[in-house]
């Protein structure tokens, strides 16, 4: 069954459509008889994981880069809304595929089913080698940068001390995820509470300032610009280098370039919307729980981001928002003093740690899924212990005891992810890794969503427990294609590095297939 499935890409129009398993499709891992994670997660855990991953550093660091590229605060809020809706369209499309084509590893099984084995491998390779390690490196860097910012230090991002501390944070989070799935989800739930607390504190502070200002218009509290100026009137924007952008003097093409840059920053802030798909194989009832988790988590996140950013414009002078990468800390420090600014930095560190934990959680599961598909070495799929083989003994009772690990965490996979992420921290920078990560993700998001559209016509009888309007994947495919083209045009170095990663992956794939064919020919 698995061998047949490997040779049935979409163009052959012969994919599995029968009732051979949940939702009518047998996943490759199940067809091959590979066991992996237990189905012990529910919609609440999936909701918490999506919240934990998406509400990370973006909502606290991206507002400045968005505000720099829009003509007014009102336009900035619209960009945040559009970015959230676009992320929701992508998540809804992946939910359709996730309930129709069960499997582990996010977009990997979808691309394999739609286009063939090599596309599934290349997506798995890109996520394991590039996207997830870069994401973990970015979050680790942001964690340490938040601490440095609270101490008034802003120019140490390239120092070896900063990088080593970032690696230390990464290792601690990886160890936490190595305990067990249950321990990881419980810790993740704590971080989710911290995220809601941080955003709620910002929103409450904004509401208090609004009440005080309205009750006494002469009072000097917060930024006052929100009270005295139009939210949608053009105003000159201050760039990080001190220069001004005169919006009324820009051509339509220049305005489009700025707005696209703002949207790119918003999509980064919403990154992680796809991560519920990565644990669909661990949900007890994925056809019901996956859409439920996505369609509750994304609106919640959009609401949080809009209210938090509205609070920034209430708490700060509008000329300040575009000049800082630590908007939340800056706002609280200006309003309540440096002591509360330090408290805000601590809370934001907890928020980033939660996002780091969630992404590390997912990274391990992606590696396990790829190993189950024979795309990566088999030892990376071992759960609960370090090493390439299971220990054996002459004593049957002891052998049975050793064969049952106390942990169900993918420790080997987590070690690989940690090593790669540490290399990215040592060799890269925050902004370079940000663009590199976006290019890698959206290249395969584009392929996946386009595949979902084509699949509607190629396999209309495929059982789809969740089926959004066709307009939803069409919108996201257009946006994701734009993001990739724009990113490659403005960051050719990162695009070339990504192309090199793909080339190396293809070499690895064909060498591995050659070795397998040679082994079969020799009867091994």
50 has a pLDDT exceeding 90: no
Beta-carbon neighbour count of residue 408 at 10 Å? 18
Whether 222 shows a pLDDT value over 70: the answer reads: yes
Which pLDDT score is estimated for 293? 84
CA distance 375 to 366: 11
Q: Given this model, what pLDDT does residue 22 score? A: 38
Greater model confidence, 131 or 43: 131
* Cα 306 versus chain centre, distance: 19
Task: Count Cβ atoms within 10 A of the Cβ of residue 13 and give its class: 0-12 exposed, 13-18 middle, 19 or more buried.
Answer: exposed
Element (H, E) at 58: helix 58-61
Task: Tell me if residue 226 falls in helix, strand or coil.
Answer: helix
The answer to whether the beta carbons of residues 438 and 268 sit under 8 Å apart is yes
- Residue 343, domain member (yes or no): yes
**297: closest CA among 192, 444, 438?**
192
Task: Determine, yes or no, domain membership for 141.
Answer: yes
Going by C-alpha positions, the residue among 514, 137, 166 that lies closest to residue 363 is 137
Q: E strand or H helix at 238, and its extent?
A: strand 237-238
Interatomic CA distance for residues 270 and 301, integer angstroms: 8
pLDDT over 80 at 431, yes or no: no
Residue 44 lies in domain: 2-11+40-385+434-521
How confident is the model at residue 102, as a pLDDT?
66
pTM of structure: 0.76
Least confident among 225-234, 343-352, 501-510, 513-522? 513-522
Looking at the DSSP bridge assignments, the partners of residue 62 are: none
* Residue 164: C-alpha distances to residues 14, 141, 168, 490 (Å): 51, 10, 6, 30
Any domain includes 428: no
Inter-axis angle of helices 132-150 and 430-458, nearest 10? 140
Q: For residue 399, give both structure tokens.
A: 């052998």
pLDDT at 468 over 70: yes
Which tokens go with 178? 């190595």
Distance from C-alpha of 120 to C-alpha of 145, rounded to nearest angstrom: 36
**Run of H or E including 256:** helix 252-269
Report yes or no on 459 lying in a domain: yes
| Residue 29 in domain | no
Cβ-based neighbours of 417, under 8 Å, separated by 6 or more: 128, 132, 133, 136, 174, 360, 363, 364, 367
At residue 107, what are phi and psi to the nearest 5 degrees? -80, -10
For 149-202, the DSSP string reads: HHTT--S-TTSHHHHHHHHHHHHHHHHHHTS-HHHHHHHHHHHHHHHHHHHHHH
Question: Are the CB atoms for 332 and 340 separated by under 8 Å?
Answer: yes
pLDDT tens readout for residues 91-113: 888 888 888 886 655 788 889 89
CA atoms of 93 and 95, how far apart (whole Å) = 5
Q: What is the pLDDT, as a whole number, of residue 18?
A: 36
Q: Which of 135-149, 162-176, 419-433 has the lowest mean pLDDT?
A: 135-149
Give the span between the Cα atoms of 519 and 524, in whole angstroms: 5
Asked whether the beta carbons of 64 and 238 are under 8 A apart, the reply is no
The 10s digit of each residue's pLDDT in 393-427 is 444 444 444 455 556 677 888 888 899 999 999 98
The stretch 427-453 carries a mean pLDDT of 87
Radius of gyration of the chain from its Cα atoms, rounded to whole angstroms: 24
The total number of residues shown for the chain amounts to 524
Highest-confidence segment of 143-147, 419-423, 485-489: 419-423
Residue 380 in tokens: 């990376």
Q: What is the largest CA-CA distance in the chain?
A: 88
Q: Is the pLDDT of residue 7 over 70?
A: no
**pLDDT, tens digit, 9 for 90 and up, residues 77-86:** 999 999 999 8
**Which pLDDT belongs to residue 360?**
83
Average pLDDT, the chain: 79
Output the six-digit token pair for 507.
């070499």
244 beta partners: 238
**506 assigned to some structural domain:** yes
Within a domain: 199? yes
Question: Facing residues of 283 across strands?
Answer: 41
Cβ contact 11:261 at 8 Å: no
Whether 277 has a pLDDT exceeding 80, the answer reads: no
Tokens of 254: 């220049």
| Total number of domains in the chain | 1
pLDDT(499) > 90: yes
Task: Label residues 258-288 b or e (16+ Cβ within 10 Å = b).
Answer: bbebbbbbbbbbbbbbbbbbbbbbbbeebbe
pLDDT band at 302 (very low <50, low <70, confident <90, very high): very high
Per-residue pLDDT band at 15 (split at 50, 70, 90) = very low
The domain that holds 230 is classified in CATH as 1.20.1740.10
Residue 19 lies in a domain: no
Tokens 């080997």 belong to residue:
412
Q: How confident is the model at residue 28 (pLDDT cuts 50, 70, 90)?
A: very low
Residues β-bridged to residue 237 = 245
């Amino acid at each position: 069954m698995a061998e047949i499935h490997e040779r049935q890409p979409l163009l052959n129009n012969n994919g599995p459509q029968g009732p051979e398993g949940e939702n009518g499709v047998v996943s490759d891992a199940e067809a091959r008889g590979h066991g992996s994670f237990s189905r012990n997660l529910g919609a609440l855990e999936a909701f918490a994981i999506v919240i934990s991953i998406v509400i990370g550093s973006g909502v606290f660091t991206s507002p400045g880069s968005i505000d720099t590229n829009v003509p007014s605060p009102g336009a900035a809020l619209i960009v945040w809304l559009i970015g959230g809706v676009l992320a929701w369209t992508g998540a809804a499309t992946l939910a359709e595929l996730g309930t129709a084509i069960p499997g582990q590893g996010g977009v990997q099984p979808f691309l394999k089913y739609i286009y063939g084995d090599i596309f599934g491998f290349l997506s798995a390779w890109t996520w394991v080698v590039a996207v997830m390690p870069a994401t973990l490196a970015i979050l680790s860097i942001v964690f340490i940068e938040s601490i440095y910012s609270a101490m008034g230090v802003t120019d140490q991002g390239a120092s070896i001390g900063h990088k080593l501390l970032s690696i230390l944070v990464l290792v601690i989070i990886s160890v936490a995820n190595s305990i067990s799935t249950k321990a990881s989800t419980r810790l993740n739930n704590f971080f989710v509470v911290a995220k809601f607390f941080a955003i709620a504190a910002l929103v409450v502070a904004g509401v208090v300032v609004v009440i005080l200002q309205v009750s006494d218009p002469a009072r000097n509290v917060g930024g006052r610009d929100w009270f005295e100026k139009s939210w949608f009137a053009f105003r000159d924007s201050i760039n990080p280098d001190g220069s001004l952008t005169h919006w009324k003097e820009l051509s339509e093409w220049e305005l489009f370039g700025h707005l696209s840059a703002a949207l790119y920053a918003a999509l980064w802030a919403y990154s992680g919307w796809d991560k519920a798909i990565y644990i669909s194989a661990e949900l007890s009832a994925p056809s019901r729980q996956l859409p439920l988790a996505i369609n509750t988590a994304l609106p919640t996140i959009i609401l949080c981001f809009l209210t938090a950013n509205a609070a920034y414009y209430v708490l700060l002078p509008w000329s300040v928002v575009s000049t800082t990468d630590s908007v939340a800390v800056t706002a609280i420090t200006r309003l309540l003093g440096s002591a509360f600014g330090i408290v805000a930095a601590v809370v934001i560190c907890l928020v980033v740690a939660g996002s780091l934990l969630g992404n590390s959680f997912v990274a391990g599961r992606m590696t396990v899924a790829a190993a189950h598909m024979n795309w990566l070495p088999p030892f990376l799929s071992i759960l609960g212990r370090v090493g390439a083989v299971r220990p054996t003994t002459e004593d049957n009772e002891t052998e049975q005891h050793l064969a049952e690990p106390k942990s169900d965490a993918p420790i080997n996979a987590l070690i690989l992810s940690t090593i790669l992420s540490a290399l990215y921290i040592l060799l890269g920078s925050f902004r370079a890794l940000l663009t590199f990560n976006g290019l890698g993700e959206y290249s395969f998001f584009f392929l996946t969503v386009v595949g979902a559209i084509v699949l509607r016509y190629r396999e209309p009888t495929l059982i789809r427990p969740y089926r959004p309007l066709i307009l939803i994947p069409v919108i996201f495919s257009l946006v994701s294609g734009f993001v990739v083209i724009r990113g490659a045009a403005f960051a050719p170095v990162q695009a070339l590095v990504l192309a090199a990663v793909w080339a190396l992956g293809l070499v690895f794939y064909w060498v591995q297939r050659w070795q397998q064919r040679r082994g079969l020919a020799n009867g091994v």
